[in-house]
C-alpha cells in the first residue's frame, strides 16, 4: 500500500489547477490520469478561450494545457504524476486501486479530489451505430490531436458551443460541413460562434433533427426532419443529405461513476448535465475528505473548471493543515471569478443547478 | 435572425457603426450582441477605448473618440466578432481576423462575403499581418467598394 496525502483523479484543467494550489500551499499530491498525457480536453482545443485574463482568455486551449502542465511540473517534489493509469476502485476509507501497465496498485490517501470531467451524450436514431457517426469531441481529438480527418462531408447535430466550434475547426481542416442542425428553436451556443460559421456559408437549421442514418458498410446519407414546438417530427419535411460523417454534439454528462462507487449522495440535475454529487461551498461531497472539481460536478466551460480546481486545491490543502499564506485573499478571488463567469444568461442553468446540489456543512 | 440562423439584423449591425464622418479614421466594430462572460477586447485595448467593466458578461462599448483602429482587439477577440472599418475615398477599408490557410497574399483579389456567407463583391488584399503577437489569427487588411461597408464581413479565396 502506497500512502499519499492527496490523490487527484483526472489530469485535466480542474485536476491540474487543484494540484498547483495544493503544492503552493505546501501539500503534495498524486495526479492519476487515464490518458497518455496530461491536459484533458484542452489538448485538442485550438480556439481562443473566452472569460477573463485570470482564466487565460484569448489564449488557445492547447496553450492553456501547456501553461497548466508547466505549472505543476514546477513542483517536481510536490506533484507526482501517473499517466496511462486508470482508477479501478475507490473505497469509503479512501483507498484507491489503480491499474498501470497491467500492474494493480493500492493507494491510501488522506483526501481525494475527483476531477474526472464529463463524457459526450449520444442520440438515439435508427442506424446510429454506422461507422462514420462520431461524437463531436471524438472528431476534435482525431483532427487536432492525431491529424486525421473524419471524412469529407459532414453534418453536425447540435448547435451548442462544442458543435459550433468543432464545425468551424472541421472547415479549417478542409472538411465540407454541409449544415448544423439543432432540435431547439434557437441556437444553443454563443452567437459569435454561429455567425463565424454562417459567414463561411454553413447553414444552421434550428427546429431540425436527424431521423435516421442510411448505409450498408458505413454512413452514406442521413434523413433530417423539421420538428414542431413539441420536438415531434413534422411529416413531409424529411430531407436526405449525402454525408460520410455525422457528428453528434448534444451535450455532456458528468463522469461521476467513481462517486457512486463510494456512496456519495448524488442527484440527477439536468441543468448540470446528469448525475452529480451534493457538495458544500468547499466542494466537499457527503463523504468526508472526498472533493470534486470541474465538469464532474456540473458541465460548464473549461474556464470554470480551472477556477474550481484552484479553489478546491486551496481548500483541501488547508483542511489537511497546509494553509496557503494568502488563503483568504485567494479564496475570495476564486469565488468571485466563478460568480463572474456564471453571472450572465449563459450561467443561469449552472446557477440553478448548483442550488439544487448545495449541501449544508453539517449534513451527515 | 441571430438566434435562429446566426445572422445579425441590419439594425443590429448599424448599431455597432459610428457615422461616416467618424469613419474617416479606422474604428473598431464590435459585433458582440450577447451577454457572454468574456472581456479580452477591453483588456487588450492599449487606448482604453473598449469598456466592459467588472461584470465580464457586459457587452462591450467602444469609445470612438479614443479608438485608433489599431486592430489589436480584432485578433484578440475569441469570438472573431470584431473588425475595424474606415472610409477611404470610394472604398471601405477593413481589418479582419482570418484563421484559414493558406493566407491571402498582398495584391490578390478575393471574394468579399456578407454575414449570410454570400459573395457580394471583390476585395483587394492590402496587408497581411502574421506575427507571434497575433497568435495564429492573421490580421488581414482589405478594401471593398464603399457601398458594401455595412454588408461586407469577411473574405474568401476565389474558387
Q: Do domains A2-119+252-356 and A122-248 have the same CATH topology?
A: yes
With 80 as the cut, is the pLDDT of residue A165 above it? Answer: yes
- What's the mean pLDDT when you consider all of chain A? 97
> What ipTM describes this predicted complex?
0.98
Total residue length of chain A: 364
Residue B6 confidence (pLDDT) above 90: yes
Give the whole-angstrom CA distance, residue B31 versus residue B17. 10
pLDDT value, residue A92: 87
Checking if the pLDDT of B60 tops 80, the result is yes
Chain B residue numbers touching A169 (CB-CB < 8 A)? none
| Whether pLDDT at B82 is above 90 | yes
CB distance A199–B154 less than 8 Å? yes
CB contact under 8 A, B5 and A57: no
Task: For residue range A265-285, list pLDDT tens digits in order.
Answer: 999 999 999 999 999 999 999
Residue A251, C-alpha cell as written in the block: 451535450
Q: pTM of the predicted model, to two decimals? A: 0.97
DSSP codes joined into one string, A228-279: -TTSPBPTT--EEEE-SEEEE---EEE--HHHHHTT--EEEEGGGTEEEE-B
Residue of B33, B55, B101 lying closest to A340 (CB–CB): B55
Q: Does pLDDT of A354 surpass 80?
A: yes
DSSP states of A4-21: EEEEEE--SHHHHHHHHH
pLDDT, residue A150, reads 95
Q: What pLDDT, on the 0 to 100 scale, is given for residue B22? A: 98
Instruction: Kindly list the residues from chain B whose CB atom is less than 8 angstroms away from the CB atom of residue A50.
Output: 36-38, 78-79
Distance CA A292, CA A283 (A): 6
**Segment A212-236, tens digit of pLDDT:** 999 999 999 999 999 999 999 999 9
What's the mean pLDDT in B59-82? 98
In which band, very low, low, confident or very high, does the pLDDT at A360 lie, cut at 50, 70 and 90? low
- Return the pLDDT at A364: 39
Res B159: pLDDT: 85
Predicted local distance difference test score (pLDDT) of residue A361: 53
Taking each helix axis from N to C terminus, what angle separates A13-25 and A302-319, rounded to the nearest 10 degrees?
A: 30
The residue whose grid cell reads 469598456 is: B51
User: How many CB contacts within 8 angstroms connect chain A with chain B?
Assistant: 129
pLDDT at residue A198 in the model: 98
Q: What's the alpha-carbon Rg for chain B, to the nearest Å?
A: 15
Measured between CA atoms, how close is B77 to chain A, in angstroms? 7
| CATH number corresponding to A122-248 | 3.50.50.60
Task: Output the pLDDT for position A359.
Answer: 83
pLDDT digits (tens, 9 = 90+) for A65-108: 999 999 999 999 999 999 999 999 999 899 999 999 999 999 99
Nearest to B36 among A171, A186, A190 (CB): A190
Has domain A2-119+252-356 been given CATH number 3.50.50.60?
Answer: yes
The pLDDT tens digits of the residues spanning B89-125 come to 999 999 999 999 999 999 999 999 999 999 999 999 9
Express as a percent the part of chain A with pLDDT over 90: 98
Q: Nearest chain A Cα to B99, which residue?
A: A172
Q: Peptide bond before B102: cis, by omega within 30 degrees of 0?
A: yes
Given a cut of 80, whether residue A46 has pLDDT beyond it is: yes
Residues of A in contact with B7 (CB under 8 A): 195, 198
Higher pLDDT, B159 or A243: A243
Question: Domain coordinates of chain A in residue numbers?
Answer: 2-119+252-356, 122-248
Predicted pLDDT of residue A62: 98
pLDDT at A127: 98
Confidence of residue A362 (pLDDT cuts 50, 70, 90): very low
Amino acid at each position: 500500500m502506497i500512502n499519499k496525502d492527496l490523490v487527484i483523479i483526472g489530469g485535466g484543467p480542474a485536476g491540474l489547477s487543484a494540484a498547483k494550489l495544493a503544492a503552493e500551499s505546501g501539500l503534495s499530491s498524486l495526479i492519476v490520469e487515464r490518458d497518455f498525457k496530461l491536459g484533458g480536453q484542452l489538448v485538442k482545443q485550438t480556439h481562443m478561450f473566452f472569460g477573463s485574463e485570470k482564466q487565460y482568455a484569448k489564449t488557445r486551449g492547447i496553450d492553456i494545457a501547456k501553461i497548466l502542465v508547466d505549472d505543476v511540473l514546477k513542483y517536481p517534489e510536490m506533484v507526482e504524476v501517473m499517466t496511462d493509469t486508470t482508477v479501478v476502485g475507490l473505497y469509503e476509507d479512501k483507498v484507491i486501486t489503480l491499474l498501470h501497465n497491467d500492474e494493480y496498485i493500492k493507494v491510501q490517501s488522506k483526501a481525494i479530489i475527483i476531477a474526472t470531467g464529463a463524457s459526450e451524450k449520444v442520440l438515439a436514431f435508427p442506424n446510429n451505430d454506422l461507422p462514420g457517426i462520431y461524437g463531436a469531441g471524438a472528431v476534435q481529438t482525431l483532427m487536432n490531436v492525431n491529424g486525421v480527418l473524419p471524412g469529407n462531408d459532414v453534418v453536425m447535430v447540435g448547435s451548442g458551443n462544442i458543435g459550433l466550434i468543432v464545425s468551424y475547426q472541421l472547415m479549417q481542416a478542409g472538411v465540407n460541413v454541409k449544415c448544423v442542425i439543432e432540435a431547439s428553436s434557437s441556437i444553443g451556443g454563443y452567437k459569435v460562434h454561429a455567425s463565424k460559421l454562417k459567414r463561411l456559408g454553413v447553414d444552421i437549421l434550428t427546429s431540425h433533427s436527424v431521423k435516421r442514418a442510411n448505409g450498408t458498410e458505413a454512413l452514406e446519407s442521413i434523413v433530417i426532419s423539421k420538428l414542431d414546438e413539441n420536438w415531434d417530427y413534422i411529416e413531409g419535411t424529411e430531407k436526405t443529405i449525402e454525408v460520410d460523417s455525422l457528428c453528434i454534439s448534444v451535450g455532456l454528462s458528468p463522469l461521476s461513476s467513481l462517486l457512486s462507487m463510494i456512496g456519495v449522495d448524488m442527484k440527477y440535475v439536468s441543468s448540470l448535465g446528469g448525475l452529480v454529487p451534493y457538495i458544500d461551498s468547499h466542494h466537499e461531497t457527503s463523504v468526508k475528505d472526498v472533493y470534486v472539481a470541474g465538469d464532474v460536478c456540473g458541465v460548464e466551460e473549461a474556464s470554470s473548471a480551472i477556477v474550481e480546481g484552484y479553489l478546491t486545491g486551496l481548500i483541501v490543502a488547508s483542511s489537511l493543515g497546509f494553509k496557503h499564506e494568502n488563503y483568504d485573499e485567494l479564496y475570495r478571488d476564486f469565488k468571485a471569478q466563478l460568480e463572474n463567469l456564471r453571472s450572465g444568461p449563459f450561467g443561469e442553468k449552472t446557477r440553478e443547478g448548483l442550488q439544487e446540489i448545495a449541501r449544508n456543512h453539517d449534513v451527515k | 435572425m441571430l438566434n435562429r440562423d446566426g445572422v445579425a439584423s441590419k439594425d443590429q449591425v448599424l448599431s455597432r457603426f459610428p457615422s461616416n464622418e467618424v469613419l474617416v479614421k479606422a474604428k473598431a466594430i464590435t459585433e458582440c450582441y450577447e451577454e457572454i462572460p468574456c472581456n479580452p477586447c477591453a483588456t487588450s485595448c492599449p487606448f482604453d477605448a473598449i469598456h466592459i467593466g467588472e461584470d465580464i458578461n457586459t457587452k462591450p462599448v467602444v469609445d470612438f473618440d479614443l479608438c485608433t483602429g489599431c486592430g489589436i482587439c480584432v485578433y484578440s477577440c475569441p469570438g472573431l466578432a470584431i473588425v475595424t472599418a474606415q472610409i477611404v475615398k470610394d472604398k471601405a477599408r477593413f481589418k479582419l481576423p482570418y484563421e484559414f490557410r493558406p493566407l491571402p497574399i498582398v495584391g490578390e483579389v478575393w471574394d468579399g462575403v456578407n454575414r449570410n456567407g454570400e459573395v457580394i463583391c471583390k476585395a483587394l488584399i492590402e496587408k497581411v499581418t502574421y506575427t507571434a503577437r497575433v497568435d495564429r489569427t492573421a490580421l488581414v487588411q482589405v478594401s471593398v467598394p464603399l457601398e458594401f461597408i455595412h454588408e461586407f464581413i469577411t473574405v474568401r479565396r476565389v474558387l
